[in-house]
Amino acid sequence: MKNIFITLMIMILTVQLVAAEKAGEFKLENINGKQVKLSDFQKEGLVILDFWATWCVPCKNGLPKINELHEKYDSVNVLAINVDKPRKKAAAISTVKSNRFTFHTLFDSKKVVQKQFNITNIPRTLIIDQDGTIIYDHTGYQRGDEKHYEEVIVKWLEEQETEEPEEDTPEPEAEQPDVLKD
């Protein structure tokens, strides 16, 4: 009986570990008041989720670098998820607009997505591929961290270039010349 219990516990933990590697779908309000989903952005390539708040100095130091990555790579969408309380939303919008950030700003004032990804400290940066796999996870920000993000992006882009789609279509046969008979 004890062995069965241990086996079940191992299976449950294994399932949880595998599930933790995938990013689940979510929907949040963007800076324009529109509801957007994670999957809306995954179609184009990698998604960087960056959790931040207006009171967080390391967050505000990292945002310009995250924005540079968003602008540099067409196949990378940055979703800067603000986790401030609702009354601080105007301050967050002001931060984004005054710095002319072009990344996608989303608001998680109810902490739904923050809980979904078990975000306990910010800034927290996750890089998610098109399949929803979390391929990079980093907490905190120090100058130079963006270089690690870029290494992950470049590696992913290189992997995409080396993957060639399989062709199911057979090559066309060469046409046979018509034979004329007298």
Mean pLDDT taken over the chain: 85
- The counts of H helices and E strands in the chain are 6, 7
pLDDT exceeds 60 at position 19: no
Sheet strands (E) in 100-181: 104-107, 124-128, 134-139
Tens digits of per-residue pLDDT, 29-39?
Answer: 999 999 999 99
Q: Please give the angle made by the CA atoms of 36, 40 and 45, to the nearest 5 degrees.
A: 140
Owning domain of residue 92: 22-159
- Mean per-residue pLDDT for 106-133? 95
- Residue 20, pLDDT above cutoff 90: no
The pTM (predicted TM-score) of the whole model is 0.77
Q: What is the mean pLDDT of residues 126-134?
A: 95
pLDDT at 106 over 90: yes
On whether residue 84 sits in a domain, the answer given is: yes
CATH no. for residue 65?
A: 3.40.30.10
Please report whether residue 131 resides in a domain. yes
Q: Is residue 171 part of a domain?
A: no
Asked if residue 120 is part of any domain, the answer here is yes
In a domain, 1, yes or no: no
Number of domains in the chain: 1
Does position 140 have pLDDT exceeding 60, yes or no? yes
pLDDT bin (cut points 50, 70, 90) of residue 12 is: very low
pLDDT of res. 109: 93
pLDDT at 17: 38
Comparing 14-18, 61-65, 91-95, 162-166, the range with the smallest average pLDDT is 14-18
3 found inside a domain: no
Compute how many other C-beta atoms are within 10 angstroms of the C-beta atom of residue 66. Answer: 24
What value does the mean pLDDT take over residues 87-94? Answer: 96
**Cβ atoms 79, 104 nearer than 8 A:** yes
Q: Tell me, yes or no, whether 9 lies in a domain.
A: no
Asked whether residue 108 is assigned to any structural domain, the reply reads yes
CB 122 within 8 A of CB 50: no
Among 78, 46, 82, smallest CA distance to 65 is for 78
Predicted confidence (pLDDT) per residue in 41-84, tens digit? 998 899 999 999 999 999 999 999 999 999 999 999 999 999 99
